[in-house]
């Protein structure tokens, strides 16, 4: 399976989003992972649709918007207009099917995500219509945390389910604590979209790190 790398700009300098997304495209990233936090679903506040719109003219890469927000339904339109290519919403924050119907109206890709406490089965019901399933391998809210090993079993269960329903190539993304070692493990478990914040932005060789994360 083709492995895609989605650097998270959460770990980047917030004064330079335009430059950063241009650089990531040049250095071989496949998607730009945008961590949107509202101070409610998770304690910190990061940025919203206006920042995503500001990045849009600076890259052709898909903008992968991970909404760690309560009431994501009230924000879908803004992100769609901002130029998001994929909107991923939390099973813990909404009715996934309702949100998929709404996101679908804008012709954007639909993703569903689970926290470390949530079982993989919470995503089974939407696997047929999803464009991406995301497993959080750290507690959402902060970059730089340690990978939670029990995420591997969930990735395996999701890949197995995708095969069972005839969607063996469905994108399974993993987010949190990914470095060159844990990337190998999640890829072996069945993930093919790898989010990496600190690993990419703390590296002095961004292109090399992105390429090594592919395994």
What does 90 interact with, of Zn ion, ligand DX5, none (CB < 5 to 8 A by kind)?
Answer: none
Which 8-state DSSP code applies to residue 197?
A: S
Taking CB under 6 A as the rule, does residue 143 contact ligand DX5? yes
Residue 175 among the catalytic residues: yes
Taking CB under 6 A as the rule, does residue 62 contact ligand DX5? no
Q: Measured between alpha carbons, how far is residue 73 from residues 4, 20, 136, 200 in Å?
A: 27, 28, 21, 31
- Catalytic annotation, pick one of 35, 38, 131, 171: 35
Q: Minimal distance in Å, beta carbon 82 to ligand DX5?
A: 18
Name the residue among 108, 71, 107 with its Cα closest to residue 86: 108
Taking CB under 6 A as the rule, does residue 46 contact ligand DX5? no
Taking CB under 5 A as the rule, does residue 175 contact Zn ion? yes
**Rounded distance between C-alpha atoms, residue 104 and residue 171, angstroms:** 17
What does 30 interact with, of Zn ion, ligand DX5, none (CB < 5 to 8 A by kind)?
Answer: none
Q: Measured between alpha carbons, how far is residue 144 from residues 6, 88, 111, 119, 148 in Å?
A: 15, 21, 23, 23, 12
Nearer to ligand DX5, 178 or 193 (CB): 178
Binding ligand DX5 (rule: CB under 6 A), the pick from 103, 135, 193, 195 is 195
Residue 95 among the catalytic residues: no
Binding ligand DX5 (rule: CB under 6 A), the pick from 48, 83, 111, 176 is 176
Binding ligand DX5 (rule: CB under 6 A), the pick from 21, 69, 196, 210 is 196
**Rounded distance between C-alpha atoms, residue 212 and residue 196, angstroms:** 12
What does 143 interact with, of ligand DX5, Zn ion, none (CB < 5 to 8 A by kind)?
Answer: ligand DX5
Task: Return the structure tokens found at 203.
Answer: 């590296």
Q: Minimal distance in Å, beta carbon 52 to ligand DX5?
A: 15
Taking CB under 6 A as the rule, does residue 11 contact ligand DX5? yes
* Integer Rg of the chain from CA: 16
Name the residue among 93, 79, 92, 98 with its Cα closest to residue 118: 92
Region from 122-130, 135-143, 184-192, 203-211 binding ligand DX5, contact rule CB under 6 A = 135-143
Are 174 and 111 a contacting pair, CB within 8 Å? Answer: no
| Neighbour count for residue 11 (Cβ, 10 Å) | 18
Name the residue among 132, 123, 104 with its Cα closest to residue 31: 132
Nearer to Zn ion, 35 or 185 (CB): 35
Residues with catalytic roles: 35, 175
Name the site residues for Zn ion (rule: CB under 5 A).
Answer: 35, 66, 175
């Amino acid at each position: 399976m083709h492995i895609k790398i989605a650097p998270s700009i959460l770990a980047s300098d917030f004064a330079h989003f335009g430059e950063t997304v241009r650089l990531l495209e040049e250095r071989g990233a496949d998607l730009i992972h945008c961590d949107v936090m509202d101070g409610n679903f998770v304690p910190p506040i990061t940025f919203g649709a206006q920042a995503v719109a500001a990045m849009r003219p600076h890259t052709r890469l898909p903008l992968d918007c991970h909404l760690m927000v309560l009431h994501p339904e009230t924000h879908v339109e803004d992100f769609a207009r901002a130029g998001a290519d994929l909107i991923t919403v939390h099973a813990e924050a909404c009715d996934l099917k309702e949100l998929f119907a709404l996101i679908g109206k804008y012709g954007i890709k639909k993703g569903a995500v689970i926290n470390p406490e949530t079982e993989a089965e919470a995503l089974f019901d939407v696997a047929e219509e999803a464009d991406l399933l995301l497993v959080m391998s750290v507690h959402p809210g902060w970059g730089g945390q340690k990978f939670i090993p029990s995420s591997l079993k969930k990735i395996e269960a999701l890949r197995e389910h995708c095969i069972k329903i005839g969607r063996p190539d469905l994108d399974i993304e993993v987010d949190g604590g990914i470095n060159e070692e844990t990337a190998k493990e999640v890829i072996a478990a069945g993930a093919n979209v790898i989010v990496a914040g600190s690993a990419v932005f703390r590296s002095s060789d961004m292109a090399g790190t992105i390429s090594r994360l592919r395994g």
